Amino acid sequence: MGKVRLASPIMGGVSEGTRREVNRVYVCSCFGVTEQQVKQHVESGACTPRQVASACKAGTDCGSCVRRIQALLGRGSVPRREPAAGEGQVLAAALDEAA
C-alpha cells in the first residue's frame, strides 16, 4: 500500500493565503446534499420534501434525511390542529352510516 500525503504549503498544497473556511452541513449523505443547497431549492420554489427530492435527489435513497428536510421547510414546528367542537361527533356519525 502507498502512503497518503496530506496537502501542505511545502509540498505544493493549499497555502495559508488561499485557504478558506468551508462550513458544510450535510443533510443527505447518500447524495452529498448540503443544507445550503436545500435552502437554495426552497428559495427557488420547492415547498415539499418531494419537490426538494426532484431538484437534488435528497431523501430518495435511505430516507433518513426527510425529517431534516421537513425541518428546513418549516414543517417540524407546526403544531397539530385540535378538532373543532363537535367535529369528532360528525365524523363518528358518518362512519356509523357508512358501516
pTM over 0.75: no
C-alpha–C-alpha distance, residues 23 and 18, integer Å? 16
C-alpha–C-alpha distance, residues 90 and 12, integer Å? 75
Specify the pLDDT at position 31.
95
Specify the pLDDT at position 12.
52
52's grid cell: 426538494
- Asked whether the beta carbons of 43 and 35 are under 8 A apart, the reply is no
**pLDDT truncated to tens, each residue of the chain (99 aa)?**
556 555 555 545 555 555 565 678 999 999 999 999 999 999 999 999 999 999 999 999 999 999 999 999 987 554 555 666 655 566 666 667 766
**If residue 37 lies in a helix (H) or strand (E), which one and from where to where?**
helix 35-43
Nearest alpha-carbon partner for 65 in 22, 24, 36, 26: 26
